[in-house]
């Protein structure tokens, strides 16, 4: 089982190099510099809550086989794309370990209620003063 912040195990990762689009000029036609990184989530043996958060965070990158697929093609070199893909995958898994902080509902104080009502009364008086002038 992996812990928060620990590096991803190599046996859970699979890299594939693809022909990239983007920067590189004619080099992109000759060299496969883009990286497709696959992470086998089941190999991580995550707790159920972390697994659920990771699945939500991965979104459409999650496959039916329980893998997360990331593609990195921003750089001209294979190694830079490889490091980018691994860093992004690590950040995704690390973010899943952070449980959201539950909001504790609080009550509005009496003073705040009074101030709000006073403000409403003042505004009401201002608006009433805008009506037509009656000379009765």
% of the chain with per-residue pLDDT over 70: 88
State pLDDT tens for residues 85-133: 999 999 999 999 999 999 999 999 999 999 999 999 999 999 988 888 7
Looking at the predicted structure, is the pLDDT value of residue 54 above 80? yes
Nearest Cα to 27, choosing from 93, 89, 81, 90?
A: 81
Quote the CA–CA distance of 135 and 35 in Å, as a whole number: 82
Confidence of residue 77 (pLDDT cuts 50, 70, 90): confident
Q: Is 13 helix (H, G, I), strand (E, B) or coil?
A: strand
DSSP bridge partners of 15: 37
> What pLDDT score was predicted for residue 32?
79
Quote the CA–CA distance of 37 and 14 in Å, as a whole number: 6
> What pLDDT score was predicted for residue 5?
67
> What pLDDT score was predicted for residue 104?
92
Domains of the chain, with CATH numbers? 10-96 (3.30.160.20)
State pLDDT tens for residues 6-31: 788 888 888 988 876 665 666 666 77
Where is 67: in which H helix or E strand? strand 67-72
């Amino acid at each position: 089982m992996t812990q928060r912040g620990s590096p991803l195990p190599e046996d859970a990762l699979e890299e594939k190099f693809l022909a990239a689009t983007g920067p590189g000029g004619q080099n992109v036609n000759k060299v496969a510099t883009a990286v497709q990184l696959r992470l086998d989530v089941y190999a991580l043996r995550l707790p159920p809550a972390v697994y659920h958060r990771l699945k939500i965070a991965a979104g459409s990158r999650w496959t039916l086989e329980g893998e997360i697929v990331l593609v990195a093609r921003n750089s001209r070199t294979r190694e830079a794309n490889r490091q980018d893909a691994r860093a992004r995958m690590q950040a995704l898994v690390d973010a899943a370990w952070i449980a959201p902080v539950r909001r504790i509902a609080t009550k509005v104080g009496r003073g705040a209620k009074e101030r709000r009502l006073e403000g409403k009364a003042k505004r009401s008086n201002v608006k009433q003063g805008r009506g037509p002038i009656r000379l009765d």
